[in-house]
Chains A and B, each alone.
Chain A
């Protein structure tokens, strides 16, 4: 059952990611990204990260992607035009990413020789209780710094997006 679920949702994630890159219209790309995020959330669940799976759905697929779609609609962004400027990335992009992928896969298979097999339910330390305990004891200072970051982000977004009044 693990193999079936992993294969299905991994395929959904990869097809969604490829579709995100290939689609010409930003709305189609945004919907593909939502599919990738939902698939990844199921994979988090298979890895025993219940809280992160829920946060992935709520924060990423919910909040962030709604913001994206909202901005795409607001700007009335149409399909992307082809342009011949900047040929460097056009010609070298695909080979370089392929090299990156092959190298990363090689390093992973070489260095992770004592890797466990993933079985659903084998690791149960990812519930809200365990994550919350770690977050409010060992990671309390980073958590508080995060709140300052969010505050700066809110102020920055308001300042950047306001209309000039003069």
Chain B
């Protein structure tokens, strides 16, 4: 196996910017879904996707500076996301019980 492949194959490295750009791509997709989708649960999942993208940035910067602080921040982001998921899904349950729908453009009581 090792004769078939050149030795550079096993030692090649990934530039750090690739991780940051992947994080930006995931964040942009999440932001687009947040604006475009109409189902409140899917919108919620897009928020989670954006949080995950930011976590990737934090961990990448942690690697860049050789310190563990970035990983601590991403740990706190995870904790806040868990709390947010619990409260947010309870709010979604209440909305569905009161309005009988999950489409956000039908939940417009505050409009006019």
Contacts and interface: CB of A to CB of B under 8 A. Distances in A.
A100 B63 contact: no
Contacts of A161: 90, 93-94
A131 B72 CA distance: 7
Contact of A13 (B22, B79, B93): B22
Contacts of B46: 20-21
B26 to A, nearest CB: 5
Contacts of A64: 48, 81-82, 85
B15 A101 contact: no
Nearest to A152: B83
Contacts of B55: 40, 52, 56
A33 B16 contact: no
- Interface of A (DSSP majority class): helix
Contacts of A72: 41
Contacts of A3: 12-14
A1 B10 CA distance: 5
Interface residues of B, number: 72
B66 interface: yes
B71 A52 contact: yes
A77 B102 contact: yes
A2 B16 CA distance: 12
B16 A135 contact: no
A118 B21 CA distance: 14
A125 B66 CA distance: 8
A51 B71 contact: yes
Contacts of A55: 75, 78
Contacts of B30: 17
Interface of B: 9-10, 12-22, 24-33, 35-39, 41-42, 44-46, 48-49, 52, 55-56, 59-60, 62-64, 66-69, 71-72, 74-76, 78-87, 89-94, 96, 102-103, 105
Which 4 pairs of residues, A with B, have the shortest CB-CB distance?
A: A153-B83, A117-B13, A21-B33, A115-B16
19 contacts: A2-B14, A6-B19, A20-B46, A26-B39, A30-B45, A33-B49, A52-B75, A52-B78, A60-B81, A71-B89, A97-B31, A101-B28, A108-B20, A108-B21, A118-B18, A118-B19, A142-B76, A153-B84, A157-B87
